[in-house]
Structure 1
Amino acid sequence: MKHFQHFKTDISEIELPAKFTFPFYYEPSLIAKIAAKELQEYLENQTDFEHNFGLNETQTDLPIGKMFGVLVVKNEKNEIGYLAAFSGKLADKSLPEKFVPPVFNMRTEGSFYIKGELEIDEINRQLSLLKKDKNYNKLKKSVKKITETIAEDLALQRKKMRLSKKDRKLRKKNAQATLNDSDFNNLIKKLTQESYNDQFFYKELVEYYDLKIKKNRLELINFEEKIASLKTARKEKSNYLQQTLFSKYAFLNQQKELKNLLDIFNNPAIKPPAGAGECAAPKLLQYAFLNNLTPISMSEFWWGISPNSAIRKHKNYYPACQSRCKPILAHMLEGVEMDANLLIENVSEEKELEIIYEDDVLLVVNKPAELLSVPGKEITDSVYTRIKEKYPNATGPLIVHRLDMATSGILLLTKTKEANKTLQSQFINRTIKKRYIALLEGNLTEKKGEINLPLRVDLDDRPRQLVCFEHGKNAVTEWEIIEQKNNTTRVYFYPITGRTHQLRVHAAHKDGLNSPIIGDDLYGTKKNRLHLHAEFIEFLHPTSRDKMSFSIKPNF
């Protein structure tokens, strides 16, 4: 079993975890950290493969960071060791012996996948030749030019017909007052004939142009039908290749039950996401179950340069992704006793919600960290539910704006629909002033500035947000330093917009401050809490229109 790695570190005194790691929200166990450290030492010194992680300035190819994972396991001899894996593929497409093999290697020589790719490549070659064909492009330009000329000429003719019709109507009207019945009837016949003549001429013109363009259009249609046929063949081959590939990716659990991607995602209308099964966690568990190894603990970390959109820091630990891994790991870890899912654990029950101001229409509260603003799918305890219980006769929607569950600080609520509408209007028009305090990792070099990075949800890993200049919503944050000490920086944040996780992403992203908020379990390193607090707010009272402001110091 060449992929079972014995620890170089003495682990004889280390207590093993009683339960397996919950892969979607965890603090790595000590034994998993030791395994990860040994793998990182290997990565720093290895010569087994070539991949530019962006850590060596001498490498010139495209730098790409990558997720790595370790799985601490026990073999049938009761020996403790670990397995290592990487997500996706390495730049040189190698499979170094240090790492477990993929669940399914689609690129083995002579495989159906390579054959299918070659067939699709041939179709693409034929398509490329057709699209570059001189006769085809000449016909396209010719037909386009003639079509435009015909359209203009026919439009002009229709305009003339409308003017002629208008003229005949006027002549008929004037004739009624001046001509006798016989002459008037003769005029009507003449006008009718003129109308027939116009229609006949227009019909003849259309037929003339149809005949003029017919030959070129038929030749063009012949080309376009060949192109459409090749595109259909490519789509069918691609779909067949994908479906076959999904069926080949089959995953074990500890009961040796096998399920492929089609069975796991189990929805004909939804294809498994791209890269499903290629992440480190499924590879590690697959090898363990194939070889009768008992999983004890796992962790995954990022190695290399941060990507442009998502936030990944070198050597930081990250949970398994939601869209690709969650359905797969739900099958693979079936029956495995795991740590509690802290994502659905209600840690806010004992936390007090302090009301700092109240009148007939308005409430201002100091929300503690880890209390939801509104009920979630799993946790119902929230600012909304507590206030609704306390004020059952309140007529308004209550919630005007929200704070992240992990963020503490000032939150406005209303008791009436009218007050809610007025305050929401102030938020929409950005007349409400807000200030946050955050404690960041490391020292900033600038004293103040503005961050402008558009954001959108990470569709593969909700609720994380991505920086996306193509589809993201405008997000702007102003900031300034309060103080720096002990390799941390305390800052004021002034959010100009109010996007989900805006301050957290703007702090952590490499093109933002590149300094995560301390305790940020999504974009930094998990601690006792997220050190982000809504410290100040200023607004106009919804009924009196008096200017009001509140300030609450953070407890960090």
Structure 2
Amino acid sequence: MGTSNYPSVVTLPKINKPYPSILCFLSSRFPAITRDAWEKRIGEGKVHDDRMLPITPDTEYVPQMRIFYFREVNDEPHIPFAEEILHRDDQILVACKPHFLPVTPGGRYVDECLLNRLRITTGIPDLAPLHRIDRETAGIVLFSVNKETRGRYGELFMNGRVEKSYLAISANLPVDGKTSWTIEDRIVRGEPWFRMQSVAGETNARSTIRLVDVKDGKGCFVLRPITGKTHQLRVHMSGIGCGILNDRYYPQLQPESADNFETPLQLVAKSVQFRDPLSGRLREYVSGRELLW
């Protein structure tokens, strides 16, 4: 069994009384983990509060209290592709993630994630991602090295002051001959829960899309997300009739199967550009990863 070297954390939400037990909350919040498994972890002292005191069956539910636990998985898959460090200084680290590797622990993945690999490679235990990209997507991810300045760099992403550019390949070309789009819609969770969908309502997702090359019946697109909703670019590409090549979620959900390392999602986070909040200078980082088409 693989066990994470670093704890994950969940914050107890503000809810109406009567409060559930912490065991009931964890079982409901993480349905993939059985109640018996949580009971065993608590009994073995593997679940703690924010003072690092063990949670017990008698620990009361306190809204906004943070619960720390260590992820455990059986038969963790190995991702046979390497990440690359593009830049490192006293404030940030810029890495290029391969397809299939998650950024942080989750689901079946504990050791096999970009964060864990980089902590081992760099020896920096406090390394923390400033943003995320999908497990299926390759490309650039920024990490904070310095706790003291982490908030300054995190604000860049929260306030939309980072320009991000992606490349995508689609086996479909626009039927109306268009070559550029500005997409503004509302994206929410769909069915199953891990798929997203565009619905009517207040806009919360914005992207620009541009067709830049055509070869052998396929199109190469430059995508620029203005917001950062989960699966936003995949949903928007599907919405214009140009679903991304090898996408198993959009436009149609494919049957569950093991990863096929020969057919990665043809989407890469190609570049990021931002004004450094400390020095004021313009920074830009570009991935050298190429797509297959």
TM-score category, normalised to shorter length: 0.5 to 0.7
User: Which runs of structure 2 are paired with 1:205-220 in the superposition (5 Å)?
Assistant: none
Q: Determine if the alignment matches structure 1 residue 413 to structure 2 residue 143.
A: yes
Q: Distance in 2 between matches of 1:419 and 1:390?
A: 22
Question: What is the match of residue 530 of structure 1?
Answer: 265
Deviation at 1:524, TM superposition (A): 4.4
User: Which runs of structure 2 are paired with 1:66-465 in the superposition (5 Å)?
Assistant: 346-348=77-79, 350-380=80-110, 381-395=112-126, 398-444=128-174, 445-458=177-190, 460-465=191-196
Q: Determine if the alignment matches structure 1 residue 541 to structure 2 residue 276.
A: yes
Q: Distance in 1 between matches of 2:124 and 2:140?
A: 23
- More deviation in 522-531 or 493-502? 522-531
Deviation at 1:520, TM superposition (A): 0.2
Cα pair distance change 1:520/1:358, threshold 3 Å: same
Q: Deviations over 1:121-159 (max 9, x none)?
A: xxxxxxxxxxxxxxxxxxxxxxxxxxxxxxxxxxxxxxx
CA contact (8 A) 1:454 1:475 kept: yes
Cα pair distance change 1:523/1:345, threshold 3 Å: farther
Q: Deviations over 1:318-350 (max 9, x none)?
A: xxxxxxxxxxxxxxxxxxxxxxxxxx86241x2
Aligned residue type for 1:454:
R
Q: Distance in 1 between matches of 2:194 and 2:149?
A: 30
Q: Distance in 1 between matches of 2:185 and 2:289?
A: 27
Deviation at 1:360, TM superposition (A): 1.3
Give 1 or 2: higher strand fraction.
2
Q: Distance in 2 between matches of 1:539 and 1:529?
A: 28
Match of 2:248 among 489, 510, 521: 521
Deviation at 1:357, TM superposition (A): 0.6
Question: What is the match of residue 495 of structure 1?
Answer: 225
Deviation at 1:393, TM superposition (A): 4.2
Aligned residue type for 2:113:
S
Question: What is the match of residue 320 of structure 1?
Answer: none
User: Which runs of structure 2 are paired with 1:454-493 in the superposition (5 Å)?
Assistant: 454-458=186-190, 460-470=191-201, 474-493=204-223
Q: Deviations over 1:185-207 (max 9, x none)?
A: xxxxxxxxxxxxxxxxxxxxxxx
Question: What is the match of residue 285 of structure 2?
Answer: 550
TM-score (norm 2): 0.66
Secondary structure, counterpart of 1:454 in structure 2: strand
Secondary structure, counterpart of 1:453 in structure 2: strand
Q: Percent identity?
A: 25
Q: Distance in 2 between matches of 1:449 and 1:418?
A: 40
Q: Distance in 2 between matches of 1:394 and 1:366?
A: 19
Aligned residue type for 1:546:
R
Deviation at 1:383, TM superposition (A): 1.0
Aligned residue type for 1:388:
R
Q: Distance in 2 between matches of 1:450 and 1:473?
A: 13
Cα pair distance change 1:443/1:345, threshold 3 Å: farther
Cα pair distance change 1:353/1:477, threshold 3 Å: same
CA contact (8 A) 2:184 2:203 kept: no
Secondary structure, counterpart of 1:507 in structure 2: helix
CA contact (8 A) 1:537 1:550 kept: yes
Deviation at 1:382, TM superposition (A): 0.7
Deviation at 1:542, TM superposition (A): 4.3
Cα pair distance change 1:473/1:451, threshold 3 Å: closer
Deviation at 1:473, TM superposition (A): 5.9
Q: Distance in 2 between matches of 1:454 and 1:386?
A: 35
Secondary structure, counterpart of 2:129 in structure 1: coil
Question: What is the match of residue 208 of structure 1?
Answer: none
Q: Distance in 2 between matches of 1:366 and 1:395?
A: 19
User: Which runs of structure 2 are paired with 1:26-105 in the superposition (5 Å)?
Assistant: none
Aligned residue type for 2:245:
I
Give 1 or 2: higher helix fraction.
1
TM-score (norm 1): 0.35
Q: Deviations over 1:258-304 (max 9, x none)?
A: xxxxxxxxxxxx9xxxxxxxxxxxxxxxxxxxxxxxxxxxxxxxxxx
Gaps in structure 2 of 5+ consecutive residues: 1-27, 29-74, 255-261
Q: Distance in 2 between matches of 1:403 and 1:438?
A: 14
CA contact (8 A) 2:170 2:242 kept: yes
CA contact (8 A) 1:440 1:490 kept: yes
Q: Distance in 2 between matches of 1:394 and 1:544?
A: 25
Secondary structure, counterpart of 2:109 in structure 1: coil
Deviation at 1:521, TM superposition (A): 0.7
Q: Distance in 1 between matches of 2:85 and 2:236?
A: 30
Deviation at 1:406, TM superposition (A): 0.5
Question: What is the match of residue 85 of structure 1?
Answer: none
Cα pair distance change 1:523/1:543, threshold 3 Å: same
Runs of 4+ in 1 over 6 A off after TM superposition: none
Q: Distance in 2 between matches of 1:524 and 1:469?
A: 18
Q: Distance in 2 between matches of 1:493 and 1:428?
A: 19
Q: Distance in 1 between matches of 2:275 and 2:114?
A: 22
Q: Distance in 1 between matches of 2:76 and 2:246?
A: 18
Gaps in structure 1 of 5+ consecutive residues: 1-269, 271-343
Q: Distance in 2 between matches of 1:345 and 1:516?
A: 30
